[in-house]
Amino acid sequence: MTAAEKSSSKMHQTSSKILRMTDDDRPFTRDFKDLFATLVTSLPLTAHRVRFQKVEETFLSEEAITNLGSLKFSQSNRIPDPNNPSRWVVTTTTTTFSMAKEMARQVCQRFVDARFIESAEGKNHTSFPTKGALWQLTPKGISILKQFCDGNGIEARHIEPLLRKHQMQIVVLERDLETDKLMQDKTTLEVVFRRMCGADGPNLKASTAQSDSDSVSEYASGLVGVKMARDRRVYDKIVPYTFTGKAASDWLLDCCTMVDRREAYELCELFVKWQLMAPVVEDRNFTRQFPAATHFQPTKYAIYAVTEKGQRVCGWLARPPSTDSDESLEANKEKKKMPKDTNMNRFTMIVSDSALRMLFREHLRASLCEENLNFWLDVRQFMSQYRTQEKLGRLNKPEVVKECLATSYGLYNSFLAAGAPSELNIDHSLRNRLDARMTQTETDEASLRGGLENVVELIELASMSVAKLMASDSVPKFLRDPKYQSIIREHQLDTNLAQRALSPAPSPGPNDKPSLSRSSTNRVGKP
């Protein structure tokens, strides 16, 4: 150990986390996923015997409930002191959760309902008791855990075997930052519907018995669509591409980031409303029990088929000439008015449209630079909360200022500090200013408030820098990707560029920045 490594100072930010709830009594999706992943990293995932077999990476009900009673997550980053390079400064942000035993059990039950965990003793065991039951992570739960560990630089030996199993390409549903409501515009729903019906074509089964099976193990990759019967006899007709209401809602809950089954039902109702799928067999018992549920029945006895319109949306049939409604035509006229002559304007349009943003995220993930968009969105959410507190005049309260500072330290430690788990490529002078600011310590209230204002300014500058990077490098590649051409044409984002989809990248104009190499958009120091 060198002398520089021996000499260090510490800064610590602490915040208590409140699990935010929506107006329909559902936990905010991001908070809920973070709580789940934090819990899993604290559990002693070990092997347990179930009857005559040993099941690896499992935990008991009482272990989860006990750990949720007093849960802490600390994130530390070590950087050279800008004022004294021979010293190190360690910044640590600690988030704490605490809850009563019954509340902890209810939260664990929500983990089961969200398909994060499942019984290791049998898939039909869906209630979470206070003790004795054995649990394991689902493919969806492993995917969420991996995203959390990658984003926070967590390396724990006891979860490494789980992360090596990660295969699922989970569908990240776009949400309103303030309400956490799902984006439900027509184009976004069509993107989700295409994924539900299969990224590589329909998941056809030779018999109706196979398609109606409750087994969801084949969905582990997230790329296989809902189980469908190739042909199903309904009275005197043969109907192709049919599936049960239960299979559709199960797929959405198992393969998407939603955490409440009600949202799966809500999306299926909209699929029916938008005529992407249609009922062919009614479950009369469900109708008698829930007479108000007119659009969708989530049972294994209710049968649905992909409509001709749905097949066109999935790309199984060629699309006819546009027959948009007056409302859609007006929306397209408004989009045409928007300036689209620069990559930054195109970026603004992409991130402002939930369907395009969902596809852009998939493109960035394939290019190994999804963290750029994650940071930009996180900063946008942070700035929205900061401006709200400022507008309400609450920034004169030290506890609110400290909470905002703790959030800013979380962003810094995750994305901006040297060696951060999702380190972004930003200007060297801006990074130095951030490092210098984050290593300062304020004691009085006035200094705290001034420090927060300075931090907010620097983080905004970093966000703008990352946005410019995505606009100059990732946006042109996204617009030229053949996979997304149909959506790009529908949005009339950039017709000329879309037509050059299979052509070499155009030479930069006098006002365009040169295209950066892929490594420049990745995390620094990683290929």
pLDDT in tens, 299-330: 999 999 999 999 999 988 876 655 444 445 45
Distance from the Cα of residue 361 to its chain's centroid: 9
DSSP labels for 394-457?
A: GGGSHHHHHHHHHHHHHHIIIIISTT-TT-----HHHHHHHHHHHT----SHHHHHHHHHHHHH
What confidence score (pLDDT) does residue 152 get?
A: 75
Average pLDDT over residues 123-139: 86
Average pLDDT over residues 426-439: 88
Q: What is the pTM of this model?
A: 0.77
Summary count for the chain: helices (H), strands (E): 23, 12
Tokens, residue 409: 């330290």
Residue of 386 and 499 predicted with greater confidence = 386
* Gap between the Cα atoms of 376 and 438, Å rounded: 19
Average pLDDT over residues 81-103: 71
What confidence score (pLDDT) does residue 39 get?
A: 93
Q: Is the pLDDT of residue 192 over 60?
A: yes
pLDDT category at 1 given cuts 50, 70, 90 is very low
Q: Which of 435, 437, 430 has its CA nearest to residue 461?
A: 430
Scan for tokens 């990707």, then name that residue. 481
Scan for tokens 């515009």, then name that residue. 185
What confidence score (pLDDT) does residue 81 get?
A: 61
Residue of 212 and 249 predicted with greater confidence = 249
Burial code of 253-291, b = ≥16 C-beta within 10 A, e = fewer? bbbbbbbbbebbbbbbbbbbebebbeeebebeebeeeee
Q: Do residues 160 and 41 make contact, with C-beta atoms less than 8 angstroms apart? A: no
Question: What does the mean pLDDT of the chain come to?
Answer: 81
* Gap between the Cα atoms of 75 and 211, Å rounded: 45
pLDDT in tens, 31-53: 899 899 999 998 989 888 887 78
Going from the N-terminus, what domains does the chain have, and what CATH number goes with each?
A: 3-164 (1.10.10.10), 186-313 (1.10.10.10), 338-521 (1.10.167.10)
What confidence score (pLDDT) does residue 419 get?
A: 80
Q: Which of 379, 398, 377 has its CA nearest to residue 452?
A: 398
pLDDT category at 482 given cuts 50, 70, 90 is confident
* Gap between the Cα atoms of 469 and 462, Å rounded: 11
Residue of 398 and 166 predicted with greater confidence = 398
* Gap between the Cα atoms of 296 and 282, Å rounded: 10
Average pLDDT over residues 341-359: 89
